[in-house]
Structure 1
Amino acid sequence: MKRLIALTALVLGGVAVPGGAAASSSPVLPAPTGPYPVGVATLHLTDVGRADPWVPASGDRELMVSVWYPAASAVGETARYLSAVESEAILRGAGIADVPGDSLSGTRTHEYPDAVPAGRARSLPTVVLSPGFTWPRSSLTALAEDLSSHGYAVIGIDHTYETFATTFPDGRVATCAACMLEEVDDFGAQAVQNRAVDVSFVLDRFFGERTPWPGAGLLDPERIAMVGSSLGGASSAETMLHDRRVDVGANLDGTMFEPVPAAGLDRPFLFLGEPAHRPGGADPTWDRDWERLLGWKRWLTVTGAVHASFTDYDLLAEEIGVDLGSELSGVRTVEITRRYVRAFLDRHLRGRSQPLLDRPSVRYPEVVVH
């Protein structure tokens, strides 16, 4: 099934615009909007005894994970967005050949590596982020930083061999072996199921006795959400169906490759996507599964958006002179994604009223409430 790779090529394989905005300078992510500085920790986790689902010969399943969190202070230099090798792999893998391969490696984030965390024991709601197929966890950095600046702990996962490049601490770079397996008819369903297992393993580690991160005691095990883009969004529902620890989920423009069963999903869920995902639109899977969402639910589309608009890539592509076809600025799409995802999480993990989710907004007229 070639839909996932074709979709990646479509949304990132845009047209390079000569003299495009910031084509000769480093792209810049929008600053977080919350009151806290943002810390980040990078972890290498191994699921001992579980063979890698895509490359069994590689041994036990290994994952690279980033934890973004509110920090007590901002000290030192901010973290790099991507290495030159990762930037090249993403741009070339997506078919973008008209800009330098290292165009994204100069991007600096707003996060401070290993900064001292802020918060009390079990005070931070936890959000798991799962990126789109072939995309790394860094593709959701702007969202992760913003949530962390507002007091969330955010765990982003690279699903190994499903990204164009995942770098391990010893220098190994795993590429997209799963991209070679898409001829399998149920590939999308297999990928969603594997990601659900990845997420449950990561939660086991963070909330188990031998946690991999010293700040894990600040995370609240009773308030956990999962938010994903594209394939990661479909994986949010699948994870919730198999792991009751995940209280709420959001799908950012992802086809539901694995249907919600007829028995339904009984917890809050958000659909947020481009116009192709409107009711009766090009992707019928949202229509099918909408009726099977039995808890609180919202279905929103963003007029003028494209698939990459719910990640960093709409913004970054614009800044390196690549046109992905969005009718909105990259800054605007980041703002909309941040604001609506945070409203959803604030409502369900913090019990705060969020009228933004209930009716059209004068401030965000692009967002259609279905």
Structure 2
Amino acid sequence: MQRSALFLLVFTIACNGGGTSSGTDSDTASSTGSGTGAGTGSTTGDDPTTSTSTSTGTSQASTTTSDGPTTASGPTSTTTSTTGVDTTGVDTTEGTTDEPGDAIYDPAEDGPWQFGELAAELDVDGEAIGVTAYYPTQGPEGGPYPVVTLAHGFNLPPTQYTSYATRLASHGYVVLNVDHAGYIFGAVDHVANANQVLAALDWAAEHPVLGDISDVDNVGATGHSLGGKISVLAAMYDARVKASLTLDPVDGANMCPNMQACPDVSGMLPIAIPLGFLGETLDTAGFMACAPAAENFTTFYAEASAPALQVTVHGANHMSFLDDVGSCGITCSFCQQPTLDNAVVNDVARAYVVAYYGRWLRGNAGYDTYLTGAEAQQRYVDMGLVTIAEK
């Protein structure tokens, strides 16, 4: 069948560029009810109730350079809203000691923390970068809490990853869902994107609400597709990032002006922090593969040093890690058709993100059972959902 030049351009950007969507760039994210749901992040009849209040404040913007982040302060207007979410009835098992942080909460379920939400727009080297923070407001342990950054895929809205943010917040993490400038009509600059993600840490550290509860020296970096690549790059730039787990990262450089703007990040490994990679192999071959084998998650794992984790989700495609593929638009149809339900992939991926940071940001080895041990074997490996490799 004949394809128009425009179709080929969109197809190339969508797949080889690390995934796209018809979603639009948004400076702030709307309030959500819960981290649960069948891959959509929406509330269900069993979800907790939501109450809202509003407040205002100011923040400090962070500016960066292509060689890594540097900071300079400047006032930035902030729009904030808080959403308290009651997450009760969570099954837990106790850790091996009575020290704070040793309780193990099932990562496949919402945790016991209530959390709030606020949004802001940062000026990073002249780019307006949106960030939505999800932060614990009440729970079994007080802060400061580990911080996790979320980075969206190329041309995909940050709202497609809300369920990851709310699940993490319910487990006692401050989550910064960053609307970096990785969009089709902007300048392609993966180094700048990584620095935009890091700028959110500086903003959180100075924020009147987040500053006291955010341990910005104990950070995890998570992202999908292009967001996965720039999350690993951010970890290379900033020692505050202590671990990174990424979702089907793609180390591509389509439309890049030069390799300085879009470096081969997997080729820059290893780095001395734990790295984890969830991915799929359905979209790694064929015409305009969405996650080409030469640039996919296995190339990152191959170069990573121990401790490193690789989880292959069987039957997922490149877009299966989104909250709701059904709302992604025509771009998602460019990838191979998955054989595993979107909701099932979400359940696996959310659980792994929470367990990984429980292990490496909280230092609780009890979470190994959900990563590679008995629970992971029973829930995922024995069911044929995943294959696990570690080193």
TM-score w.r.t. the length of structure 1 is 0.65
**1:336 aligned residue:** 348
**2:360 aligned residue:** 348
Is the 8 Å Cα contact of residues 43 and 212 (structure 1) preserved in structure 2?
no
Q: Report the secondary structure of 2:350's partner residue.
A: helix
**2:169 aligned residue:** 148
Is the 8 Å Cα contact of residues 233 and 254 (structure 1) preserved in structure 2?
yes
Superposed displacement of residue 330, structure 1: 2.6
Is the 8 Å Cα contact of residues 20 and 155 (structure 2) preserved in structure 1?
no
Give the alignment of 1:211-290 within 5 angstroms: 211-257=206-252, 258-261=264-267, 264-276=270-282, 282-285=292-295, 286-290=297-301
Is the 8 Å Cα contact of residues 238 and 260 (structure 1) preserved in structure 2?
no
Instruction: Give a deviation string over 1:152-191, Cα, whole Å, max 9, x none.
Output: 110011113x34xxxxxxxxxxxx422xx6xxxxx5xx3x
**1:303 aligned residue:** 314
**2:371 aligned residue:** 357
Query: Out of 57, 66, 70, which is 2:132 matched to?
Result: 66
**2:42 aligned residue:** 28
Give me the identity figure in percent: 24
Q: Which runs of 5+ in 1 are unaligned?
A: 14-25, 51-59, 73-116, 164-175, 182-186
Superposed displacement of residue 218, structure 1: 0.3
Runs of 4+ with deviation above 6 angstroms: 8-11
Is the 8 Å Cα contact of residues 230 and 252 (structure 1) preserved in structure 2?
yes
Relative to its length, the structure with more helix (as a share) is 1
Is the 8 Å Cα contact of residues 8 and 134 (structure 1) preserved in structure 2?
no
Considering only aligned residues, what root-mean-square deviation do their CA atoms show, in Å? 3.2
Distance 1:67 1:262 in 2: 30
Q: Rate the CA distance shift 1:355–1:158 in 2: closer, same or farther, 3 A.
A: same
TM-score w.r.t. the length of structure 2 is 0.62
Is the 8 Å Cα contact of residues 315 and 334 (structure 1) preserved in structure 2?
no
Q: Rate the CA distance shift 1:315–1:38 in 2: closer, same or farther, 3 A.
A: farther
Q: Which runs of 5+ in 2 are unaligned?
A: 1-8, 23-39, 48-108, 253-263, 286-290
The farther-off stretch of 339-348 and 195-204 is: 195-204
